[in-house]
Amino acid sequence: MEFTAAMIARLLNGTVDGDPEIRLNTIARIEEGHAGALSFLSNPKYEPYIYTTGSSAVLVKNDFVASKEVTATLIRVEDPYQALARLLAMYEEQSRPVKKGIHPTAVIEESAVTGKEVFIGAHVYVSEKAVIGDGCNLYPNVYIGDNVRIGRNCTFHPGVKVYRDCLIGNDCIIHGGAVIGSDGFGFAPAGDTNYIKIPQVGNVILEDNVEIGSNTCIDRATMGSTVIRRGVKLDNLIQVGHNVEIGENTVIAAQTGLAGSTKIGRNCMFGGQVGFAGHLSIADGCRIGAQSGIMSTVSEENSVLFGYPAMDSKMYMKSFVYFRKLPDMSRKLDELSKSVESLKNR
């Protein structure tokens, strides 16, 4: 498909600075731009590329001021990254064929209910009394357990497993290999060398507009529910323990682990490989840097934390200056100790 810069500007409520009739037929990173491509600039770190890019047009912020000549046509918008997301969504909708129907190898139990205009791929299994909402897409090898209820317009990519009694809201996306509702890690010591498994009789609830990355595991509650609130986005390879609650619109990067019964607030952002101890509470709006270790409750909203154990990020960076100097400080301390000992001997 081909568009002009003026057409794209109208779609995005933007303005054109340059040739409004320039033709665009693809999207490229600004550092890899070429004729006919549309790129975007949202991070100032990449500004040098706008002066050398081969792209025909670039999405920029309304207030962008070039420090030297730009040969590409500029399409000025409020937020270039969001504008790009909208364009990519439109492109995907136009280019990806809509799949409908039920593959002959799929197995759907008689007591299960499937909605209108669903796609159920090869070797999908839908268990007793499960409900699949209108417009859902279940790709090959998806497993849906007993009594699972799935809302409208959900997409489950190949190999997703949803265990019994779990509840999935509307417009959710679950990527390949994710497991929703496996048993929580609950074992009671029985003597010095044995453990008794504690039955996990709760479930998992995913509210509307949740996205779960590939191979992420969300454990069912021991009792009650593990809850992922509306708008949460979880990356690949995340472990969510039993009875965890993640607040609305929180985003969590890959390989993070949340131990059981931890409560995460709304609008939080966590980097990769953050580790949370169990039974903690994290206030709304907190931001935690990658590989941090959270050992205690965070009560102050909008805290920015980093390190292990995590502390205020500014304090951590100041402390890090001294961490790097420790070997030299240790050497000087040894020399000083020897000097003091020498003076004592005299």
Distances (CA, A) of 165 to 24, 172, 206: 48, 17, 12
Residue 212: partners with Cβ closer than 8 Å, 6 or more residues away: 172, 173, 174, 175, 178, 180, 206, 218, 228, 234
Residue 66, domain member (yes or no): yes
Whether residue 304 sits in one domain with residue 185: yes
Q: Which residues of the chain have pLDDT under 50?
A: none
Cis check for the bond before 309: say yes or no (omega within 30 of 0): yes
Residue 131, domain member (yes or no): no
Token digits for 107? 């197995």
Smallest Cα–Cα separation from 57: which of 77, 78, 85? Answer: 77
Whether residue 294 sits in one domain with residue 166: yes
Whether residue 280 sits in one domain with residue 190: yes
Whether residue 294 sits in one domain with residue 172: yes
Q: Which pLDDT value is given to residue 343?
A: 84
Smallest Cα–Cα separation from 55: which of 9, 24, 19, 90? Answer: 24
Domain count, the chain: 2
Residue 48, domain member (yes or no): yes
Candidates 34, 123, 242, 279; catalytic one: 242
Whether residue 171 sits in one domain with residue 75: no
Whether residue 167 sits in one domain with residue 79: no
CB 132 within 8 A of CB 167: no
Residue 111, domain member (yes or no): no
Distances (CA, A) of 185 to 215, 218, 221, 240: 17, 11, 10, 10
Q: How many angstroms separate the CA atoms of 287 and 305, rounded?
A: 6
Q: DSSP letter string over 86-124?
A: HHHHHHHHHHSPPP-EE-TT-EE-TT-EE-TT-EE-TT-
Q: Which pLDDT value is given to residue 311?
A: 66
Supply the range of the domain harboring residue 59: 3-95
CB 265 within 8 A of CB 286: yes
The 8-class DSSP code of residue 45 comes to G
Label residue 123 left, alpha or beta by phi (over 0 means left) and psi (-120 to 50 means alpha): left
Residue 284, domain member (yes or no): yes
Q: What residue type is 304 in one-letter code? A: V
Q: Residue 40: which CATH number?
A: 3.40.1390.10
Q: What residue type is 235 in one-letter code? A: D
103 is known as an active-site residue: no
Q: How many angstroms separate the CA atoms of 1 and 81, rounded?
A: 21
Q: What residue type is 140 in one-letter code? A: P
Whether residue 89 sits in one domain with residue 166: no
Distances (CA, A) of 310 to 248, 252, 295, 302: 23, 16, 8, 14
Q: Which pLDDT value is given to residue 93?
A: 76
The per-residue pLDDT for range 69-100, each reduced to its tens digit, is: 999 999 999 999 999 999 888 877 777 777 88
Whether residue 181 sits in one domain with residue 61: no
Whether residue 172 sits in one domain with residue 48: no
Whether residue 91 sits in one domain with residue 181: no
Residue 100, domain member (yes or no): no
Q: Residue 254: which CATH number?
A: 2.160.10.10
Whether residue 168 sits in one domain with residue 71: no
Q: Which pLDDT value is given to residue 331?
A: 86
Distances (CA, A) of 197 to 17, 21, 81, 258: 66, 68, 48, 20
Residue 261, domain member (yes or no): yes
Residue 342, domain member (yes or no): no
Of 39, 70, 95, the last residue of a domain is 95
